[in-house]
Amino acid sequence: MSVALAFRETGDGPPLVILHGLFGSGQNWQSIARRLGDSHRVIAVDLRNHGGSPSADAMTFSEMVDDLRVLLEDRGIERTALLGHSVGGKTAMVFALLYGQMVDSLIVVDIAPVPYDHTFLPLVRAMQRLDLSGGLPRAALEKRLARDISDKPLRTFLMQNLVNDQGQASWRINLDAIGAHMAGLTGFPDVEGFVYDGRALFVSGAQSDYLGPQHHERIRELFPWAEFATIADAGHRVHAEQPERFLGVVRQFLSPAT
């Protein structure tokens, strides 16, 4: 069953929908969205169980694709460009494969249509273990989280999900659902028999191993018109680490469609 996704809309022109990655939200993409808004009607979505979107026990790619389909229909959008990062990129790929008639072009950021061996369950468990009941200030809570998550940029990113309502801190993401569906989220659904024949761009970070030449054959099986771009001095969060280079690549790709 679909849920009504929260979103932020900016700009004017042909539509462009942005789908964030795991533990993120549309808010993480607002700087990119504002700048792309000079040429597009940009809709930055919160996936289910993230940001301002509803929580749901189920979190498969089929359900997330259906959420997006309903949003587009509700907004009167018959065709759109899609830009997705990580889990959002997988969602965008599955959407394009199933509903190619609704996709003008596809941009996938640092992810491939393959299952991955890693898991983010340790991050989920660390966030679940953090005691939020004592009314501690944000800095103190982050210090405690650092016992389990030593990577400061990653920890700062995750802490964006900590909200405070009248002195009571809570996580705005549904950690239980994300944890329960982790195997599916790091995998990729069976899409045999489906091909997206539209324009597609796969953007990777040069310092990331999520997307590389070893994935190109599989990508071209599903997206035969795929193009590839690698951003130097960037890891998995390409758009945050090298925003100017990322915007340049995205604008160049989108320009034939504007």
Q: Which residues are catalytic?
A: 86, 176, 236
DSSP type of residue 54: P
What angle (nearest 5°) sits at the alpha carbon of residue 7, between those of residues 19 and 230?
25
- Distance CA(203)–CA(241), nearest Å, equals 13
- Give burial (CB, 10 Å; 0-12/13-18/19+) of 168: exposed
Residue 63, phi then psi, degrees to nearest 5: -70, -40
Residue indicated by tokens 């061996």: 117
Phi-psi region for residue 137, left (φ > 0), alpha (ψ -120 to 50) or beta? Answer: beta
Count Cβ atoms below 10 Å from residue 18 Cβ, excluding itself. 28
- Distance CA(81)–CA(103), nearest Å, equals 6
